[in-house]
């Protein structure tokens, strides 16, 4: 899969593909993992621009307070909730 985006977006999307099924990471954990611990908003924006929801499992990223956060794929947060439930 050829990913087109900014260097940060591509780095974030590649990292998301490494999150195992049934596991979640916070936006902060993703930011730290891609070497941008102070750029949580930029990382969240990159996640929101994911061109391939489900293939690039952005639904596995949640807020630090345990909230779901957003989901840019079809169906929004309702779909994110279903995807996470189906993986547990």
Determine the angle formed by the axes of helices 7-16 and 40-48, rounding to 10 degrees. 80
Distance in angstroms (rounded) separating the CA atoms of residues 54 and 73: 8
- Residue 87 CA, chain-centre distance (Å), reads 15
> What residues act catalytically?
58
């Amino acid at each position: 899969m050829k990913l087109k985006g900014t260097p940060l977006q591509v780095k974030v999307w590649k990292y998301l593909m490494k999150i195992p099924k049934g596991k979640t990471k916070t936006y902060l954990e993703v930011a730290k993992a891609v070497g941008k611990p102070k750029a949580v908003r930029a990382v969240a924006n990159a996640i929101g621009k994911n061109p391939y929801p489900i293939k690039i499992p952005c639904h596995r990223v949640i807020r630090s307070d345990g909230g779901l956060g957003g989901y840019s794929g079809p169906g929004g947060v309702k779909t994110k909730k279903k995807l996470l439930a189906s993986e547990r």
